[in-house]
Amino acid sequence: VEVRVLKEAAAGERRVAATPETVKKLLAAGARVQVQAGAGLAAGFTDQAYRDAGAQIDDAVDAADLVLCVQAPPPELVARFKPGAVLVGALHPQADAARAAALQARQLVAFPLERLPRTTRAQAMDVLSSQAGMAGYKATLIAAQLAPRFFPMLTTAAGTIRPSKVLVVGAGVAGLQAIATAKRLGAQVEGFDVRPETREQIESLGGRFLDLGVSAAGEGGYARQLTDAERAEQQRRLAEHLKGVDVVICTAAVPGRPAPKIVTAAMVAGMRPGSVIVDLAAETGGNCEATRPGETLDVGGVTVAGPLDLASMGAIHASEMYARNVLNFVSLFLKDGALVFDWNDELLAKTVWPERPAAGEIPPV
């Protein structure tokens, strides 16, 4: 089996889908591994490090049976893949019609890792979680950097500095890491979420759970969209609360939908000058109405940042985690140098795109 590790093409993408460490394990599973020149450089892994691990450096893609990537490769590259090749990455095929068409035209066996079921067995392969952890961490550091205040309480000869009040909106994987990071920096941290079980998780990190009176647990442990009445109640209480907050870090998401708009323009206008909002949900439109993805704005004295590529800002550790996630997923079907798919394994069956008909439902030719 020929495995190819792509050099990422997307602007701002610094991560890589395999590290020298995971290359060794792929070799041990009987694969031949070729890495595109410079693929790991932005994440701190030189071509020589991959060679030392046993890979070859080669840019061609046409002979690969299994291609590993972070983001979906551009359609013109996909057009050069071997028909029927296997592609693993955070592919988001439905996000772009040309991308979806290119994958299907090549009849690739595509595994968009964001489709992986969030089961216990899948945890070691869960790229959403590993990358969200880095994103939450960086979002807090960006907020600390932009804030015209200290995060910790300080007792100085010039008097006492009160700690910053940080509110984290949404306490999933990214939000909890944002809370933990703000706490380590000494801020007074609060968090809220519509899933009631997050109260205990926030408190276990030393944060305070902000109760906005809305509980909206949905399917599969995720949040559901709020009703109009629930949203109005959440917004009324939040607007009041934000007047006393220095930093807001937004991380709320509902699977398959644009980011819920939680912080309105009126709420931003009601915040104290010098406050900072970092909107980690910017990639899917943002939780704050004032967010412009990729930009940092001054909105009436409030700094509103919508950073993109947060995981890439920590490219070394993000790549190490991503590459291990990919290796663990690939180990489901790479055995003794061959690709063997057990379509009864739900991790494969539910991740593959387009969806395959279940065994027995395949129509006779």
CA 69 to chain centre: 15
DSSP per residue, 41-102: GGGT--HHHHHHHTPEE----TT-SEEEEEEPPPHHHHTTSPTT-EEEEE--GGG-HHHHHH
For residue 322, indicate whether it is catalytic. Answer: no
Task: Write down the catalytic residue from 104, 184, 222, 231.
Answer: 222
Q: Does 252 bind ligand NAD (CB under 6 A)?
A: yes
Alpha helices (runs of H) in the chain, residue ranges in sequence order: 20-28, 47-53, 75-78, 97-105, 127-146, 173-184, 198-204, 228-242, 265-270, 310-313, 315-330, 346-351
Q: Does 253 bind ligand NAD (CB under 6 A)?
A: yes
# chain residues binding ligand NAD, by CB under 6 A: 30
Q: Does 286 bind ligand NAD (CB under 6 A)?
A: no
Q: Does 123 bind ligand NAD (CB under 6 A)?
A: yes
For residue 126, indicate whether it is catalytic. Answer: yes
Instruction: Report which of 124, 116, 120, 126 is spatially closest to residue 348, judged by C-alpha positions.
Output: 116
Q: Does 254 bind ligand NAD (CB under 6 A)?
A: yes
Q: Which of residues 157-196 bind ligand NAD (CB under 6 A)?
A: 169-175, 193-195
For residue 222, indicate whether it is catalytic. Answer: yes
Q: Which is nearer to ligand NAD, 55 or 254 (CB)?
A: 254
Q: Does 223 bind ligand NAD (CB under 6 A)?
A: yes
Question: What are the b/e assignments for 237-273, b being 16+ CB within 10 Å?
Answer: bbbebbeebbbbbbbbbbeeeebbbbbbeebbeebee
Give the other-Cβ count within 10 Å of 344's Cβ. Answer: 9
Smallest separation, CB 178 to ligand NAD (Å): 11
Out of 20, 40, 133, 260, name the contact with ligand NAD by CB under 6 A: 260
Q: Does 262 bind ligand NAD (CB under 6 A)?
A: yes
Smallest separation, CB 169 to ligand NAD (Å): 6
- Catalytic positions are 118, 123, 126, 129, 222
Binding residues (CB under 6 A) for ligand NAD: these are 118-120, 122-123, 126, 128-129, 132, 169-175, 193-195, 221-223, 226, 251-255, 260, 262
